[in-house]
Amino acid sequence: MNRKAVFVAGTLLVTALMAHAAEAKRWGCWIQADRNVRIRNTASNASAAVSDWNNLTILNLSSVSSGEETYVFNANSGNTGWGGLASITNYSGCTILRATAQLNTYYAWSSNAARGVHCQEVGHTFGLDHSNDGGCMGGGYWYDIATHYTIVQGNINEINSMYANRAVSQVPDHPVVGPEAGAPRFHAFWINHPQSIREATRLASEVVVATVNDVTPGDAIETLDSDGNIQRIPTERVHFTVKRGQKGSFEVGESFVLFQNGNHENRFDEDPSYKVNHRYLLFLTDRGDGTYMVISPEGRYAVTRNGLVPAVEKGFAAELKGASLEDVAADVHRIVTGPEQQ
């Protein structure tokens, strides 16, 4: 029996016992057709991450120069707010036919951080979400990606559970019903990951309460990949009117335009569409092109009668669900005017 077979037999027996510790999560219903995944890697700083997924799980990743199911590359996509991106570019139902995993070289990376981001984005292309278990799938969200840059037992268990019955000779029928309407096909590693309202306030150049007036199409992000092909990512421009300024130079009644990755048909996970005439509490940074963007998904909150609704369901942002706008605004004011800000 080969090493992988021994590893699988032992791991699957204890998966149920260890599930509570792993805290691993699936990314919606997305999954590769089977455990034999053709992968094309043109990023040298992703080689260790790809090897980890291949050597430590039941996945069999074969290196190809074309016809891949996962394509790994580096490219400069500009100041988008994300440092890494997993994209599902072709699918049937919930089955991934082709996905990409990119490191955005607009931002500077240490070798370990680049390895960690690649590890996370490649993991997304196998159907994993973020998980707080000490491995790369939680890097940036719960801990530093540069020191947690590889996979851990929780990630291994989840992959083994997902693909245990997906050997190429036992491929189940592919799902004919696709994911729910509007399901995200992009999963980003955001360059900023504030761990508190204080850190979010410090990262932001502007903190405002504003109302959406309109949402219009934006120019696509055109990225030249390692093969010389152009990959296009849609964007939108969200037009706001300021109702209240908490930090920065915006005044009541002033307008600004927000840059948003994706559009209503191609949504980014953790960055849902904005709704016209709805109010939001926003932590913003200037993109340098006349538009603004939120510092990260932890930087946007819908203002409702039942309190704030964060865009993300993890970290400190999730703890603000249902919080009073007035209470959070008061916290921001104290942070901005506190003695450490003087």
Give per-residue pLDDT as tens, 67-90. 999 999 999 999 999 999 999 999
Same domain, 201 and 178: no
Q: H or E segment at 281?
A: strand 279-286
CB 255 within 8 A of CB 287: no
pLDDT of residue 13: 34
AA identity, residue 235: T
Model confidence band, residue 265 (pLDDT cutoffs 50, 70, 90): confident
Q: Give the per-residue pLDDT at 339.
A: 73
pLDDT confidence of residue 182: 59
16 and 165 within one domain? yes
Q: Which of 190, 219, 240 is the last residue of a domain?
A: 190
Confidence of residue 5 (pLDDT cuts 50, 70, 90): very low
Residues 257, 138: one domain? no
Distance CA 159, CA 142 (A): 21
Would the pLDDT of 4 be above 60?
A: no
> What does the pLDDT read at residue 19?
37
pLDDT of residue 18: 37
Averaged pLDDT for residues 230-243 = 94
In this predicted structure, what is the pLDDT of residue 180?
53
Domain that holds residue 98: 3-190
**310-328 pLDDT, tens digit each:** 999 888 999 999 999 999 9
Mean pLDDT rounded to a whole number for the chain: 88
Q: Residue 22: what pLDDT?
A: 40
Which pair of tokens denotes residue 100? 């990409």
Q: What is the pLDDT of residue 2?
A: 36
* pLDDT value, residue 192: 95
**205 and 313 share one domain:** yes
- CATH code of 244's domain: 2.40.50.120
With b for 16 or more beta-carbon neighbours within 10 A and e for fewer, the 19-50 pattern comes to: eeebbbbebbebbbbbbbbbbbbebebbebbb
Name the domain count of the chain. 2
Where is pLDDT greater, at 335 or 231?
335
CATH code assigned at 59: 3.40.390.10
Instruction: Report whether 71 contacts 105 (CB < 8 A).
Output: no
Does the pLDDT at position 218 exceed 80?
Answer: yes
Q: Indicate the Cα dihedral angle 189, 195, 199, 200, nearest 10°.
A: 60
Would the pLDDT of 215 be above 50? yes
- Residues 3-30, mean pLDDT to the nearest whole number: 48
Tokens for 6? 């021994």
Least confident of 102-106, 223-227, 338-342: 338-342
The pLDDT score that the predictor gives to residue 314 is: 82
Residue 149 shares a structural domain with residue 7: yes
Final residue belonging to a domain, choices 169, 190, 211: 190
Where residue 340 falls among pLDDT bands split at 50, 70, 90? low
Predicted pLDDT at 229: 78
Predicted confidence band of residue 48 (pLDDT cuts 50, 70, 90): very high
Q: CA–CA separation, 127 vs 206, rounded Å?
A: 35
